[in-house]
Amino acid sequence: VGLNVAADPMFTISYTGVNAGMIINVADDAGMHSSQNEQDSRHYAIAAKIPMLEPSDSAEALYFTKKAYEISEKFDTPVLIKMCTRVSHSQSIVETSERIEPPVKPYQKDASKYVMAPANAKRRHPFVEERTKKLSEFAETSDLNKVEYSSAPEGKKLGIICDSTCYQYAKEVFGDSVSILKLGMVWPLPQKLIKDFAGKVERVVVLEELDPIIETLVKAMGLKAEGKNIFPVTDEFSQGMVASLLGKEFGKEAKTGCSKIDGLPVRPPVMCSGCPHRGLFYTLHKQKCTVMGDIGCYTLGAMPPLSAMDATECMGASVSSIHGFNKATGGETEGKTVAVIGDSTFMHSGMTGLANIAYNQSNSTVIILDNSITGMTGHQQNPTTGFNLRGDPAGKIDLEALCKAMGIKRVRVCDPYNLKETEAAVKEELSVKEPSVIISRRPCALLKYVKHNPPLKVNEEKCRGCKSCMQIGCPSISFKNKKAVIDSTQCVGCGVCSQMCAFGAFEQ
């Protein structure tokens, strides 16, 4: 979904062209393993009139990248490379060649090419259309697309047109028994190659994940093709799906994967032991706040038992959403609604929303979850940490000073490990009739430099089995024999559970 953010300049760069090779890499997530929607980014290539390549394995990912740079410089265009979850997370043998360092192209001043005022843009549009024609001709003979005709009896009965990992699934199911046209360049399509392929087989089936883009374009060429009448438009495909929906007609069976193991414990997605966000979300749930959420590991605050998040759309949406929500309800939701956003997400796309709140003076409370790192995607640094992505010292943005400079007069910091302090901050800021920011600050529990307290223990004599401690969803706490139990191998001694227990059952 990152390409959505970059779409504005991408469409214009298609008109300007590029001085040197430029690749835009996008990874789609069919099956939504970690994305909030299941969009098909091939639409962008067609809409922006930019060539798109789709590798089907690790080796092709390297080769296609090299070819993409060649195409970019030859045709004066950015090139989209579309990956998917399976290609991105898989490994295969890759043969590397000697690294070639191309000379750096000097910058050439050309306002008529790079300044897209309407007068210049009108002159560039015909260039884009002519470029698309040339790219179509290039696709006809490019080794990015390959045809595999089968000499088997079924070879002429069935021809499969496919792209990306669908090629792998087709080969796993059919082997060399059917003819296959593998499209590595999915836009623009090689129309002559496709027509020639279709003319040599009795039946054409388009195998593609998500939207029927290739299928629609093939039909627009006047060819008869099947596709989404067989396969779904949702979720990622697999060998088993292809075998069951198409392969069974030809006597192909789905390969059995790993068998399920009985008795495994349920492992729902939860925040880590000692996660600083847990205390805050417990407080918001306790206060019955309406919570506009954002993108990060803290999105898990929406999961039970915390159940402390009402909406999550995209990065930065929480801050804009609370402003719009409070305005749309005529102020009735003020004092009852908060926005939560991580420190790195705030730097990415939350500042404009906060500027809007400050400028239009909505009585909205924004809570910035400052855990000193970018947690969900792998502990990358961000502008508030004081280090760059290489770990070298860098400029550090002061969140408090930044918020105040943007016009927010009420800015305060609380420690989410301290439930009383956090609850007091939330109550007070929700009660005021002006914009406010709470910075919930505590480093991520997984950071190496963070020193943890000894794990807590449960005094069984004091434990009444009330299960109040289970309300925070800590993976270190379980319930056995009507008593709370702490897993000492996970507990980091944050002490949040001990503050909740009315009987003092949690001890050091």
What are the pLDDT digits (tens) for 323-346? Answer: 999 999 999 999 999 999 999 999
Residues 175 and 136 in one domain: no
Residues 129 and 163 in one domain: no
Residue 7 structure tokens: 């779409």
DSSP state of 28: E
Residues 224 and 152 in one domain: yes
Distance from C-alpha of 213 to C-alpha of 222, rounded to nearest angstrom: 15
Q: Which residues pair with 480 in a beta bridge?
A: 483
User: Alpha helix locations (H) across 384-501?
Assistant: 399-405, 419-431, 496-500
C-alpha distances in Å from residue 47, one per residue of 187, 306, 439: 10, 42, 41
Q: What is the pLDDT of residue 111?
A: 96
Residue 263 pLDDT more than 90? no
Residues 351 and 494 in one domain: no
Distance from C-alpha of 162 to C-alpha of 148, rounded to nearest angstrom: 12
Residue 64 structure tokens: 């296609």
**Nearest residue to 184 via CA among 210, 166, 201:** 166
Whether 261 is in a domain gets the answer no
In terms of residue numbers, what domain contains 22? 2-141
pTM, 2 dp: 0.89
Whether 123 is in a domain gets the answer yes
Residue 285 pLDDT more than 80? yes
Instruction: Give the model confidence (pLDDT) of 409-451 as tens digits.
Output: 999 999 999 999 999 999 999 999 999 999 999 999 999 999 9
**Nearest residue to 289 via CA among 429, 434, 408, 474:** 429
Q: What angle do CA 371, 376, 380 make, to 5 degrees?
A: 70
How much is the average pLDDT of 104-126? 95
Q: What is the pLDDT of residue 236?
A: 95
Whether 114 is in a domain gets the answer yes
How much is the average pLDDT of 95-123? 92
Number of folded domains that form the chain: 4
Read off the pLDDT band of 314 (50, 70, 90): very high
**Nearest residue to 275 via CA among 445, 151, 130, 416:** 445
Residues 108 and 170 in one domain: no
Residues 245 and 229 in one domain: yes
Query: Given CA atoms 224, 55, 241, 266 in this order, what sign does their dihedral have?
Result: negative
294: three-class secondary structure by DSSP: coil
Read off the pLDDT band of 260 (50, 70, 90): confident
Residues 82 and 10 in one domain: yes
Residue 266 pLDDT more than 90? no
Cβ atoms within 10 Å of 311's Cβ, excluding its own = 16
Whether 199 is in a domain gets the answer yes
Residues 190 and 315 in one domain: no
